[in-house]
Every structure is written in structure tokens, then in C-alpha cells.
């Protein structure tokens, strides 16, 4: 009888799991249906009877979400509950690889911005006027065709001289060309460079991006810390599973 009483005391209602995390009971039921929680036992009247194991699973899931995103966290818990932990580990490894790539991208962006440095001697500011495609390509060590490719990709936006139709690169277009050049030298694809160039344009130059870069660093650090917390919570769940 003592064993039966102990079992009953360890039964948890959906509201017991929900209250700890400020969730609705429907959210808890949805997580069970999605495979985040293992199937719950049912009472003779059809009520769900959860256990501390379910509570541990929910803690693991909610700890994984900030680190890996809702979709990956769901897939990780589903894999564990289906007794294929290797798939869960593979998914987690993928998130770590992505975080490392994001860090490398940030490093490359910062190097590119640092390498822009002061304007060289043949820029519009020192020549007293904008540049045509030939002089700009020469100053960057590129072929004019490369600048035309970047223009088609939206990375550089020269204006056209109304009289001649020639491409004319003002200070902003030169800046975008130099930034693109640095990032391409770092091995980044044009589609990866485009969002950064747009950020520089929106900020009005590279200097205002310092705050954005600090925020980027903070977000990467928060993800890395969240991965540690998520791993600890998942390990606790794995240890608690029969």
C-alpha cells in the first residue's frame, strides 16, 4: 500500500507541469502530441497522468529552444523519446557547427570593416569627383566585369551619367565595392554579403555598425551559453529515462 501511495503522489496533472514554466495546460498537451513529452498514462476517466520524468523532459525542451530553435529542440526530444539518441546528438552537432560558422562570419565582417581603413588616393574624395568603372576596378585589382557582376547582384549601385551612359561610382558605391571585395577575399558568397551591404547602407556607413556588431557578439555568446544550459538539461533527462 505504501508503494501505491508513493506512485499516486508522484502523479502530476498538466497544470502542474504548466505552472512551473508559465505555460497553458493546452501547450503541455500539445507538446505531448508533438512527441516532446513521452506518452502519458491515462486514468480510467481519460485524464492524463504525468510523472516527474515528463517534467524533466519539458525542462530539457524549454532549455534547448533558446539554443537550437523550436523545430530542432522538438526533433531532439522526439528522437530521444523514440529511443534514437544518436539522431538527437546529430541535430545538436549541427547547431554547434552553425554557431561556429556564424562566429567565423562575424570575424570576417569585422576584419573586412577594419581593412577598409581610410580611403585610398584614387577615391572620389581625393580626386574631386566620382570614379568610372575602369579606374575603380584598377584601384581594387579587379576586372570591370567583376564590378558589373556585383552590380547585378545589388552589391554595388553606380549611377549612370545621363550624357554618356557610363557607370559613375560615388563615395557610397566605392565603399560598397571595397567592402564586397574584402568579404569576397574572405571566401563569402555574394548572397552572404548582400545583407551586410544593406546594413551598411541603412546605417549610413560602417561607423554606426559598431553597435550592431556588439549586439551580434552578445547574441552569439547568449546562444553559446544557452547550448550549455540545454545540454545539461538534456543530459538530466537522458539520465532519468529508464
Average pLDDT of the residues in 205-220 = 79
- Specify the pLDDT at position 118: 53
**Segment 113-159, tens digit of pLDDT:** 776 655 454 455 444 458 999 999 998 889 999 999 999 999 999 99
Average pLDDT of the residues in 65-89 = 97
What are the phi and psi torsion angles at 23 (to 5°)?
Answer: -100, 170
- Cβ-based neighbour number of residue 27 at 10 Å: 15
Q: Which residue has better confidence, 68 or 198? A: 68
Q: Which residue has better confidence, 211 or 233? A: 233
Please provide the average confidence, as pLDDT, over all residues in the chain.
87
Quick check: do 2-95+225-240 and 102-219 share a fold?
yes
Average pLDDT of the residues in 179-191 = 83
- Specify the pLDDT at position 4: 42
CATH 3.30.420.40 is held by the domain 2-95+225-240: no
- Specify the pLDDT at position 83: 97
Give me 15's grid cell: 497544470
- Specify the pLDDT at position 93: 97
Average pLDDT of the residues in 161-174 = 92
Cβ partners under 8 Å of residue 187, min gap 6 = 108
Three-class secondary structure of residue 51 per DSSP: coil
- Specify the pLDDT at position 129: 57
CATH 1.10.1660.10 is held by the domain 102-219: yes
pTM, rounded to two decimals: 0.68
DSSP string, 170-203: -HHHHHHHHHHHHHHHTT--HHHHHHHHHHHHHH
Confidence of residue 7 (pLDDT cuts 50, 70, 90): very low
Q: Could you state, in order of their start, the residue ranges of all structural domains in the chain?
A: 2-95+225-240, 102-219
Per mean pLDDT, which range of 50-54, 100-104, 199-203 is the poorest? 199-203
Amino acid at each position: 500500500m505504501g508503494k501505491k501511495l508513493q506512485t499516486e503522489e508522484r502523479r502530476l496533472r498538466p497544470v502542474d507541469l504548466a505552472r512551473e514554466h508559465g505555460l497553458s495546460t493546452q501547450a503541455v498537451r500539445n507538446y505531448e502530441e508533438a512527441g516532446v513529452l513521452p506518452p502519458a498514462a491515462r486514468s480510467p476517466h481519460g485524464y492524463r497522468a504525468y510523472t516527474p520524468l515528463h517534467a524533466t523532459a519539458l525542462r530539457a525542451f524549454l532549455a534547448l529552444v533558446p539554443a537550437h530553435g523550436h523545430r530542432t529542440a522538438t526533433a531532439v526530444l522526439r528522437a530521444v523519446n523514440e529511443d534514437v539518441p544518436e539522431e538527437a546528438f546529430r541535430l545538436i552537432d549541427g547547431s554547434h557547427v552553425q554557431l561556429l560558422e556564424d562566429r567565423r562570419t562575424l570575424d570576417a565582417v569585422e576584419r573586412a570593416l577594419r581593412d577598409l581603413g581610410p580611403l585610398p588616393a584614387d577615391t572620389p574624395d581625393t580626386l574631386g569627383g566620382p570614379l568610372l568603372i575602369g579606374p575603380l576596378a584598377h584601384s581594387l585589382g579587379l576586372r570591370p566585369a567583376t564590378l558589373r557582376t556585383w552590380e547585378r547582384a545589388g552589391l554595388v549601385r553606380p549611377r549612370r551619367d545621363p550624357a554618356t551612359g557610363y557607370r559613375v561610382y560615388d563615395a557610397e558605391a566605392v565603399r560598397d565595392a571595397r567592402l564586397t571585395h574584402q568579404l569576397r577575399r574572405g571566401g563569402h558568397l555574394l548572397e552572404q554579403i548582400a545583407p551586410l551591404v544593406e546594413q551598411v547602407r541603412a546605417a549610413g556607413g560602417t561607423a554606426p555598425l559598431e553597435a550592431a556588431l556588439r549586439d551580434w557578439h552578445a547574441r552569439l555568446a547568449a546562444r553559446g551559453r544557452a547550448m550549455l544550459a540545454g545540454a545539461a538539461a538534456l543530459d538530466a533527462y537522458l539520465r532519468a529515462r529508464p
